[in-house]
Amino acid sequence: MIIGYTTGVYDMFHIGHLNILRRAKEQCDYLIVGVSTDELVLHDKNKRPVIPFENRCEIVKAIRYVDEVVPQVDKNKFEAWKKYRFNKMFVGSDWQGTPQWKEFEKQFAPVNVEIVYLPHTDGISSSILRDQMNNCR
Which 8-state DSSP code applies to residue 11?
A: T
CA distances from 65 to 4, 34, 83, 128 (A): 11, 14, 21, 25
- Separation of alpha carbons 13 and 109, rounded Å: 31
Catalytic residues: 45, 47
Which neighbouring-strand residues pair with 31?
4
Which neighbouring-strand residues pair with 91?
117
